Amino acid sequence: MTSVPSSTHKIDAEWLTEVLKDGGQIASEVTAVTIETIGAGIGLMGELGRLHITYAAEEDLPNTLVVKCAAQNENRQVAQILDFYNREADFYNRVAPDCSMNVPDSYHADVNQETYDFVLLMEDLGDVAPPDQLVGASEDEIYLSVGNVAEMHAQWWGATAENQPWMYDMMSEQEAERLRSMVYMPALEPCIEKFDYLLTPQTQQLLRTVGQRYAECWSRISLKRDTFVHGDYRQDNMLYIEDEDEPLVMDWQISGRGKPIFDVAYFMCQSVDEALRESIEEEVLKFYTDRLADHGVKYDLEQCMEDYRRMLLGCLVYPVTVCGSLDTANERGKMLGETMLIRNLSAIEKFRSADILS
What DSSP string runs through 284-352? Answer: HHHHHHHHHHHTT----HHHHHHHHHHHHHHTTHHHHHHHHTS---SHHHHHHHHHHHHHHHHHHHHTT
Same domain assignment for residues 47 and 179: no
Domain for residue 133, yes or no? no
Domain end call among 98, 123, 148: 123
Structural domain tally of the chain? 2
**Per-chain mean pLDDT for the chain:** 92
Looking at the chain, the whole-number percentage of residues with pLDDT higher than 90 is 79
Same domain assignment for residues 65 and 177: no
| Other CB atoms within 10 A of residue 87 CB | 20
Find the CATH number of the domain harbouring 250: 3.90.1200.10
Same domain assignment for residues 56 and 191: no
Does the pLDDT at position 244 exceed 60? yes
The string of pLDDT tens digits covering residues 328-353 is 556 777 888 999 999 999 999 999 99
Same domain assignment for residues 147 and 111: no
Supply φ then ψ for residue 48, to 5 degrees.
Answer: -110, 145
Q: Which domain holds residue 186?
A: 139-357
Same domain assignment for residues 98 and 176: no
pLDDT for residue 339? 95
Does the pLDDT at position 248 exceed 90? yes
Same domain assignment for residues 112 and 146: no
pTM above 0.75, yes or no: yes
Same domain assignment for residues 169 and 100: no
